[in-house]
Amino acid sequence: MPRLKTRFNALSHLFLPLSVLVILILINLIKGADYFKITVVNGAFYGNIPNILFGASELVILSIGMTFVTAASRGQDISIGESGAISSAIFVQYVLRAGNVTLGTILVGFLISCLAGIIIGAFNGTLVSFFNVQPMVATLILFLGGRSIAFIIDGKVSPILANEISNRIGTVIPGIPIQTPIILTAVFIALVAVVLRTTNLRLYVEAVGINPSAARLNGINPKKIIFLTFLLMGVCAAVAGFIAVNKAGRHDSVNLLKFIMMDAILAVALGGNSLGGGKFSITGSIIGAYTIEMLNRTLLRLEVNPEAIKVFKAVFIIVLMVLASPVVRDFAAQALEKVKSIAAGRAPGHRGALSMTDAPGKKGE
Amino acid sequence: MRPLDAAKAKTRLSNSTLLFIIAGVIFVLMYGFALITYPGSFMQFQTFFDLFNFNAALFIVALGLCVVMIGGGIDISVGAVCGLVTMACAMFLQLGGGSIWGALLLALAIGLAFGLMHGLLIAYLEIQPFIITLAGMFLAQGLLTTLHREPLNVTQPAFVALRNYTIEIPWLGTVNRLGVFIPCEIKPGVLVVVVLVVLYAILMKWSRFGRNVYAVGGDRQSARMLGINVKRTIFLSYVLCGLTAGISGFVFLMTTGAGNIGNGSLFEMKAIAANVMGGVMLNGGVGNLLGAPIGTMTLLTINELIRAAGVQSNLQAIVSGLLLYVFIVLQSAIVALRGSEKFKLALPSWLKLRN
C-alpha cells in the first residue's frame, strides 16, 4: 500500500496535463472518427498525431529549458525566441558561407549555434545569478533587442537555406518513416533524461528553487546552479532555433519563434509545475507542450474563426487553471469525501478521513 | 543640516527610497546629457511636453502596473486591454454613433471587467498571476481581432474636437525663426496622467489600501499575521490595474483618434521596463509609485535621444536594450553595495520620502 501510494504521488502532478490531453482527443474524435488515421506519403507517416509531434518539436525543447530556469531561478526567461533567432542566424550564416554543404558543415554550424546559445544564456545568467536581477527583467533586455541583432547578422535579408541536408533535417530523411524534427526532439528528450538520471542536477536545482539560502548552507552554490540553468536554456534555444530554421527553410529574423515564450511558460504551468520554483517535472512540461500544440490544431480542426482562436485559447487556459487551482482542488476533495461518506452509509467516520488523504486534490504541488 | 537629522535619515532610508532616488538622478542626468548634446531639440519645452503628449497612455499603464508590481504580482495583459479598449471605443463612437461619455464608460467597464476577472482568479483561487494575465492578454487580443480587423478612424465631430483640443501655456514657449512666439501645448491626456499620478501616489502613501499593498508585496505571511486581508488587497490591486488599463485605452484613442490592432502592443513590456527603471522591483514590496512616471520618462528620453542621434532604425532596439542593461546592473550594484554595509547614503532631511 505505501508503495502504491508513492507511485500515485509521482503521477498526481501529471493528472492535469494528461486529463486535458484526453479531453482534447475526445473532442477531436467527436469531430471526426478518423483522428488517429495515419497515412504514408513518400515513405513517411503523416496524419494528425505525427503533425502534432512535428509541430510541437521546438516548443517541447524550449519548455524543457524553461522548466529548469523556472525551477531554479523562480522566474521565467522571456528572451528564448530571440536567442533562438540569434543562434539560428549564426548557423545559417555559417552554412551559407561554407559553400559546399556537407553533413560536417551542418554539424559544425550547429555546434557554433549552440555556443552562441550558451553565450546568450551566460549573458542572461550573469544578470540573474550574479547581479540578482529578476529573470523576467534580465531577459527583457534581449527580448527588446534580440531580433535586431538577428536581423543584423542576417544582413537585412532573410537568407534561404536551399540545400539537401537542411531540407532533410526539416522534413524527412529518405528511408526513415518518421519526420526528422520528431526524431531530433526524441533524442533531445532522451539526452535530458540521461543527464537527470546520472547526475545530481535535479536535486541541486530543486534545492535552490525551494530555498536558496538553505541550499547554500548545504554546500550548493545557488548562483552557480542558476547560472547553469540559464546555460542549459541557451542550448535548448539554440537547438530549437536549429530545428525551426531547418523546418522553415529560410531565416526570418522577425517571425522565427515569435512569442513562443508565452507558450513555453504555459507548457511549464500546464505540466503541473509551480512558476514560483522548486520541484519540477520535465515529463509534465513535455506533455504540456504537446497539449498546447494539440489545442491549437484542434481549434483549427473545429474551424474556429482564425480571429477568435486566441479567445478560445484564453477561455481554455482559464477553465483549466481554475480546475487545477488549489482552492477548487481542496473543495473537490471535500466534496468527494462527503459523497463517499454518504455512499458508505453509517460507516465509521475514520474511513472518510482516510479516503480524504488518498484524494488526488490533496496532493497539490 | 543637523547631524541628528542625518543619522536619522541614514537609518530610515529604505530600499524603495534609494531606488527611487537613483531613478530620479538617472533621469536628470539623462535629460541633462540630452540637453547638452542636442540643445536644438531638447532645449524646447515643447519636446519635454511631447513626451507626455504622445505617450500619455504608456504613463497610465505603467501606473496601474506599478501598484500590482509593488503587491508582488504581475499583469501582462495591460497592453492588450489598452488596445482592445481603443478598438471597442472607436467602434462605439464611429459605427455605433455613441457619445464620448458613453465611450468613456465603455472603456472603464472593459478595464474593470478584466481587472475583476484577474483579481478574482488570482486572489481568491490562488492561481499564478503570470498565467492568468497571459490568458487575459490572449482574450483581449482575440476579442480585438474579432471585433474589427481593419484600422478604424473616428470621424465623429465631437470626438475630433476632443482629439484636436490642446491647452496652451501662454507664459511658456519658444520663438521661431520668424520671431513669432509659439506657446507650449499640452493635450488633455496629460492632465489625466497628472491627476492619476497624484491620486495613486496619495492612495499608495497614505491610504490603508496602499500600506496593505506594500505589506503584502513584502511578505504575504507576515501581512496575514498582522491582520491584513491579503486576498482582498491582491484582488483590489488587480482591479485597479485593469481599470487603469481601461483609462489608458481611452487616452490612447484620445491621442491617436483611431482604433487599430497594433494599438498598445508591447505596452506591457515597456511598462515593466519603465517600472524597473523607476525602482519598482518585480519581487514586490519595494518601490515608490512616483517611480513609474520617472521610469517612463527615462525610457522615453532614451528613445528620443536615440532618435535624435540618428541611429539606424534596427540598431535602436539594441541601443535601448544596452542602456536598459547598464541601468539594471547599476541599480543592482548599488543595492548590493548597500547590503554589504560598505556604502552609506545620507540624505538631507528635506529629501526624505516616507514609505
Chain A residue with CA closest to B272: the answer is A137
Q: A2 pLDDT exceeds 50?
A: no
What is the model's pLDDT at position A207?
Answer: 93
Question: From CA B210, how far away is CA B213, in angstroms rounded?
Answer: 5
What DSSP letter does each residue of B124-183 carry, written as one string?
A: IS---HHHHHHHHHHHHHHHHHHH-SS-EE---HHHHHHHH--EEEEEEEEE-TTS-EEE
Phi and psi dihedrals of A198, rounded to 5?
Answer: -90, -20
A325 touches chain B (CB under 8 A): yes
Best mutation target among B280, B332, B334 (most A Cβ atoms within 10 Å) is B332
Which whole-number Å values give the CA distances from B150 to B154, B240, B256, in the listed order? 13, 30, 15
**Residue A314 at interface with chain B, using a CB cutoff of 8 Å:** yes
CA distance A82 to chain B (A): 12
**What's the per-residue H, E or C state across A162-185?**
CCHHHHHHHCCCCCCCCCHHHHHH
Please report the ipTM that was assigned to this predicted complex. 0.80
Nearest residue to A171 (alpha-carbon basis) of A37, A46, A38: A46
Give the mean model confidence (pLDDT) for residues A64-82.
93
> Hey, are the CB atoms on A143 and B269 less than 8 Å from each other?
yes
What's the Cα-to-Cα distance from A243 to each of A43, A92, A166, A237, rounded to whole Å? 21, 12, 9, 10
Contacts with A308 from chain B: Cβ below 8 Å? 142, 145-146
What pLDDT score does B119 carry? Answer: 95
Looking at the partner chain, which of B137, B149, B276 has a beta carbon nearest the beta carbon of A307?
B149
DSSP state of A76: -
Least confident range of A71-75, B4-8, B52-56, B329-333? B4-8
CATH 2.40.360 fits A2-324, yes or no: no
What pLDDT was estimated at residue B84? Answer: 94
- In degrees, rounded to 5, the angle at the alpha carbon of residue B255 between the alpha carbons of residues B251 and B257 is 105
Q: How close, in Å, is residue B284 to chain A by CA atoms?
A: 11
A265/B130 CB distance under 8 A:
yes
In three-state secondary structure terms, B185 is strand
Query: In the prediction, which pLDDT does A10 show?
Result: 53
CB contact under 8 A, B125 and A265: no
Residue A127 to residue B131, Cβ atoms within 8 A: no
What does the CA dihedral B120, B126, B131, B136 come to, rounded to 10 degrees?
Answer: 0
Residues of chain A neighbouring B276 (CB-CB closer than 8 A)? 137, 140
pLDDT at A353: 45
Tell me phi and psi for residue B290, to 5 degrees. -65, -15
Q: Is the pLDDT of residue A118 over 80?
A: yes
Q: Is A29 on the interface with B (CB under 8 A)?
A: no
Interface test with A, best of B15, B87, B134, B231 (most A CBs within 10 A): B134
Give the pLDDT confidence score for residue B87 in this predicted structure: 93
Element (H, E) at B244: helix B230-256
Chain A to chain B Cβ contacts (< 8 Å): 139
User: Which range among A324-333, B245-254, B268-277 shows the weakest confidence by mean pLDDT?
Assistant: A324-333
Element containing residue A41 per DSSP (H, E): strand A38-41
Identify the DSSP state of A277: -
In this model, does residue B114 exceed pLDDT 80? yes
- Helix B45-70 vs helix B78-94: angle between axes, to the nearest 10 degrees? 120
Give me the residue from B128, B136, B325 closest to A141, CB to CB. Answer: B325
Per domain, the residue ranges of chain A are: 2-324, 327-363
Main-chain dihedrals φ then ψ at residue B45, nearest 5 degrees: -65, -30
pLDDT score for A60: 96
Confidence bin at A352 (pLDDT 50/70/90): very low
Which whole number is the average pLDDT over A144-153? Answer: 90
* pLDDT band with cut points at 50, 70 and 90 for residue A1: very low
Question: Average pLDDT for residues A276-296, to the nearest whole number?
Answer: 90
CB contact under 8 A, B329 and A131: yes
Cα–Cα distances in Å, from B214 out to B14, B18, B129?
A: 12, 16, 17
Distance CA(B129)–CA(B120), nearest Å, equals 11
Residues of chain A with Cβ-Cβ distance to B150 below 8 Å are none
Query: Is residue A117 within 8 Å of residue A87, measured between CB atoms?
Result: yes
Rounded to two decimals, what is the model's pTM? 0.84
Tell how strand B152-153 and strand B167-175 pair up: unpaired
- % of chain B beyond a pLDDT of 90: 36
Residue B341 above 70 pLDDT? no
Give the three-state DSSP class for B282: coil
* pLDDT score recorded for residue B246: 95
Could you tell me the three cell numbers for A181? 524534427
Of B125, B321, B332, the CB nearest to A142: B321
pLDDT at residue A313 tops 80: yes
In this complex, do A138 and B328 lie within 8 Å of one another by their Cβ atoms?
yes
Q: Which amino acid is at A323?
A: L
Which of A193-197, A241-245, B172-176, B276-280 has the lowest average pLDDT? B172-176
pLDDT band for position A242 (cuts 50, 70, 90) = very high
**Band of the pLDDT at B61, cuts 50, 70, 90?**
very high
Decide if A276 and B269 are in contact by the 8 Å CB cutoff: no
Name residues whose C-beta falls within 8 Å of residue B190's C-beta, 6 or more positions apart in sequence: B49, B52, B53, B56
Has residue A84 got a pLDDT over 90?
A: yes
Per residue in A293-312, pLDDT tens? 998 888 888 888 888 888 98
| CATH code at B14-38+45-338 | 1.10.3470
CA dist B7 and A133 (Å) reads: 30
Q: What is the structure's pLDDT at B6?
A: 46
pLDDT at A195: 94
What does the mean pLDDT of chain B come to? 84
Q: A323: closest CA among A67, A30, A63, A17? A: A17
Average pLDDT over residues B141-170: 85
Whether A327 sits inside 8 A of B125 (CB atoms) is yes
- Coil, strand or helix at A289: helix
Least confident of A54-68, A83-97, B113-127, B269-283: B269-283
pLDDT at A75: 87
Report pLDDT digits (tens) over B157-192. 888 888 888 887 777 766 666 767 777 788 888 999
Mean pLDDT of chain A: 85
Q: Tell me the average pLDDT across B86-115.
A: 92
Domain positions in chain B are 14-38+45-338
Q: Which residue of A has its CA nearest to B145?
A: A307
Higher-pLDDT residue of B317 and A65 is A65
Cα angle A129-A130-A135, degrees, rounded to a multiple of 5: 40
The residue-averaged pLDDT of A94-107 equals 87
A135-174 residues touching B, CB cutoff 8 A? 136-138, 140-149, 151-152, 156
Q: Examine the pLDDT at B210 and tell me if it is beyond 50.
A: yes
pLDDT at A363: 39
Whether residues B146 and A305 touch (CB distance < 8 A) is answered with yes
Q: Is the pLDDT of residue B314 over 80?
A: no
pLDDT computed for residue A360 by the predictor: 44
Residue A308 touches chain B, beta carbons under 8 Å: yes
Place A237 in a pLDDT band, splitting at 50, 70 and 90.
very high
Give residue A362's pLDDT band: very low, low, confident or very high (50, 70, 90). Answer: very low
Cβ-nearest to B125 among A140, A262, A328 = A328
Alpha carbons B131 and A322: distance in angstroms, whole number: 11
